[in-house]
């Protein structure tokens, strides 16, 4: 099997830069696409070729399937890498690439479709012996049905969009009186975000860990996992800090959750890189949550501890190559932490677009920065607020935390607000340092401190 000669990167920002770098190291030419306001973006400067795909609106540029396929055809690109976001989990895009004779660097359209239908994915996992959170077996049609299920499994419950992602289309009903309102709000948000209003209901586990497992699967049916990532530091279901390995996971637990992840991937006849996400309660019970059929934002922490370039593996598998590494040979070394640096107010989390007037990136041993930002660049308001991922690696968790603390101090961004002050607050929190946290950590950390009773 031979690698592709040229790959079109159907994305922007740091992930486009990340993919272009992998292409360069593999000796593959890259093509960048960009909207008119992204003409001076870093990914257009690093790629071998670049093509303007349309105006700022993502619907007319980065989500414009006919335009992207045309760009691939006129540049003689043999494959398309979608990155994450935009069209990465769009089964119609994967099918359109196949129809056009262009390889899609990701799973099959059918796997994307099944993974995107979270209610159906739950049903499949349940049949295959992968534990799921108690809840509805399929889409819930109305509030009455939701109420029956909620009463059966007990409040609180969480209402989720079947086609959801990024924390959208999710609402928690703590008691019966809230259910109708939360159902309506979740449905309205799901329709606005995904054009699909299907919802499902699950038992809400208030104190939980969000643990995900990186899997890689080739077209021959070989599947391996690269350990877990702890993504429990969240705000409104949006991940903020990730680490690998999880501070509470034992080797026995890792083996168990890894086997569940591989079983889940096999159930969907999955190929390429993907992530199986789980909820873990206070008693270490594991429940399948969803499968993300794309490259994850937080993939670098797994690359640091496993030594495996996940993007290169994606490209090799899409070209028809087999995974060379067997599960028994996977070795995890040290500890890695990632902070998502967003162009947002660090207290209110309101987007802070604008021009970066000064930028100084951290460096030194064990520090990696994935970014497309540079001095004088403009962060537009049209897209996601992520401007950089700061990733560190240490011999153990203690060294990784110390290294992240040092790197955050070195990271200077002027002209816009960023979440760096918030990240510093988390990294220095005693509970985080102890590894004693769950998905309620940020809410608890930001809660007003009560004065001691005298």
**Which residues are annotated as catalytic?**
294
Dist. CA 81–CA 77, nearest whole Å: 11
Beta bridge partner(s), residue 203? 157
Query: Which residue in the block uniquely carries the two structure tokens 């021959």?
Result: 220
Residues whose CB falls within 8 Å of the CB of residue 250, separated by 6 or more in sequence, listed in order: none
Buried b (16+ CB within 10 A) or exposed e, 185-195: bbbebbeeebe
Instruction: Give 214-272 as a DSSP string.
Output: EEEE-TTS-EEEEEEEEEEEEETTEEEEEEES-TT--HHHHHHHHHHHHHHHHHTT--E
- Say how many CA atoms lie within 13 Å of 255 toward its Cβ: 4
- For 303, other C-beta atoms within 10 Å of its C-beta total 21
- For 112, other C-beta atoms within 10 Å of its C-beta total 26
Query: Which residue in the block uniquely carries the two structure tokens 């460096």?
Result: 363
Instruction: Give 415-435 as a DSSP string.
Output: SS--SHHHHHHHHT-HHHHHT
Helices 176-194, 143-153: crossing angle, 10 deg rounding: 120
Beta bridge partner(s), residue 9? 32, 81
* CA–centroid distance for 154 within its chain: 30
Question: Do residues 123 and 129 make contact, with C-beta atoms less than 8 angstroms apart?
Answer: no
Dist. CA 413–CA 421, nearest whole Å: 11
Dist. CA 114–CA 120, nearest whole Å: 7
Q: What SS3 state is found at 451?
A: coil
Q: What SS3 state is found at 41?
A: coil
**Would residue 331 be called left, alpha or beta, if left means φ above 0 and alpha means ψ between -120 and 50 degrees?**
beta
Question: Do residues 228 and 212 make contact, with C-beta atoms less than 8 angstroms apart?
Answer: yes
């Amino acid at each position: 099997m031979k690698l592709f000669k040229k790959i079109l990167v159907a994305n922007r920002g740091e992930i486009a830069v990340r993919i272009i770098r992998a292409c360069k190291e593999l000796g593959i030419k890259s093509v960048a696409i960009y909207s008119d306001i992204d003409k001076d973006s870093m990914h257009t400067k690093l790629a071998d070729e670049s093509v303007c795909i349309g105006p700022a609106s993502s619907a007319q540029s980065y989500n414009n399937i006919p335009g992207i396929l045309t760009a691939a055809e006129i540049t003689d690109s043999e494959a398309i890498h979608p990155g994450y976001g935009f069209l990465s989990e769009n089964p119609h895009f994967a099918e359109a690439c196949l129809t056009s004779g262009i390889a899609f660097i990701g799973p099959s359209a059918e796997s994307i479709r099944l993974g995107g239908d979270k209610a159906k994915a739950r049903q499949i996992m349940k049949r295959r012996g992968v534990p799921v959170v108690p809840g509805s077996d399929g889409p819930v049609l109305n509030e009455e049905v939701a109420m029956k299920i909620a009463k059966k499994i007990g409040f609180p419950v969480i209402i989720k969009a079947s086609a959801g992602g990024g924390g959208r289309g999710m609402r928690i009903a703590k008691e019966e009186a809230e259910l109708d309102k939360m159902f309506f709000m979740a449905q309205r948000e799901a329709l606005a975000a995904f054009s699909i209003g299907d919802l499902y209901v699950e038992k809400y586990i208030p104190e939980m860990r969000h643990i995900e497992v990186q899997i890689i699967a080739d077209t021959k049916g070989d599947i391996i996992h690269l350990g877990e990532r702890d993504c429990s530091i969240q705000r409104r279901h949006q991940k903020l800090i990730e680490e690998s390995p999880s501070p509470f996971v034992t080797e026995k637990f890792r083996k168990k959750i890894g086997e569940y992840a591989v079983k889940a991937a096999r159930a969907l006849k999955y190929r390429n890189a993907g992530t199986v996400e789980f909820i873990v309660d206070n008693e270490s019970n594991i429940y399948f949550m969803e499968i993300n059929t794309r490259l994850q934002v937080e993939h670098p922490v797994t690359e640091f501890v496993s030594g495996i370039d996940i993007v290169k593996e994606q490209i090799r598998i899409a070209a028809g190559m087999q995974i060379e590494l067997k599960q028994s040979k996977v070795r995890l070394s040290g500890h890695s932490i990632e902070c998502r640096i967003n162009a947002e107010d660090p207290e209110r989390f309101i987007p802070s677009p604008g021009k970066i007037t000064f930028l100084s990136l951290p460096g030194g041993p064990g520090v990696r920065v994935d970014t497309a930002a540079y001095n004088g660049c403009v962060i537009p308001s049209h897209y996601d607020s992520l401007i950089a991922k700061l990733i560190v690696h240490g011999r153990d968790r203690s060294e990784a935390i110390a290294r992240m603390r040092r790197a955050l101090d070195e990271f200077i961004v002027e002209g816009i607000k960023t979440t760096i002050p918030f990240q510093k607050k988390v990294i220095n929190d005693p509970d985080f340092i102890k590894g004693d946290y769950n998905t309620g950590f940020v809410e608890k950390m930001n809660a007003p401190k009560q004065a001691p009773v005298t």
